[in-house]
Amino acid sequence: MPAHSLHSPRTPCIPSDEELPHVFEDHEFDQSYPKSIRHLSDCHWSPVEVCQMAAQFLVVEPGTRVLDIGCGTGKFCAIGAHTTAGHFTGVEQRGRFVKAAHEMLHRYGIAWVEIVHGNIADMSFDAFDAFYLFNPFEEHILPILRVDDEVEMAPQHYDDYTLHVQQQLEQRPMATRVVTYYGCCAEIPECYTCVKTAYDGTLKLWIKTQPCLDDDPESFAEAEKPAAE
Ligand SMILES: C[S@@+](CC[C@H](N)C(=O)[O-])C[C@H]1O[C@@H](n2cnc3c(N)ncnc32)[C@H](O)[C@@H]1O
pTM assigned to the model: 0.88
Ligand 1 pocket list (CB less than 6 A): 44-46, 68, 70-72, 75-76, 91-94, 97, 119-121, 134-137, 147, 161
Question: 43 CA to middle of ligand 1, Å?
Answer: 12
Q: Checking DSSP bridges between strand 177-181 and strand 87-92, what pairing results, if any?
A: unpaired
pLDDT tens across the length of the chain (229 residues): 333 223 343 433 444 444 443 456 888 888 889 998 998 998 999 999 999 999 999 999 999 999 999 999 999 999 999 999 999 999 999 999 999 999 999 998 998 899 999 999 999 999 999 999 999 999 999 988 988 988 999 999 999 999 999 999 999 999 999 999 999 999 999 999 999 999 999 999 999 999 987 777 776 666 666 655 4
Q: Spell out the domain ranges in the chain.
A: 3-224
Give the residue among 178, 147, 142, 184 at the shortest CA–CA distance from 68. Answer: 178
Residue pLDDT, tens place only, 53-111: 999 999 999 999 999 999 999 999 999 999 999 999 999 999 999 999 999 999 989 98
Nearest CA to ligand 1 atom 11: 70
Are the C-beta atoms of residues 211 and 183 closer than 8 Å to each other? no
Q: How far is CA 34 from the centre of its chain?
A: 22
Give the Cα separation of 98 and 81 in Å (integer). Answer: 17
Tell me the CATH number for domain 3-224. 3.40.50.150
Q: Helices marked H in the chain — which ranges?
A: 26-30, 35-38, 41-44, 48-58, 75-83, 95-108, 155-170, 217-224
Are the C-beta atoms of residues 55 and 80 closer than 8 Å to each other? yes
Question: 14 CA to middle of ligand 1, Å?
Answer: 26
**From the CA atom positions of the chain, what is the Rg in Å?**
18
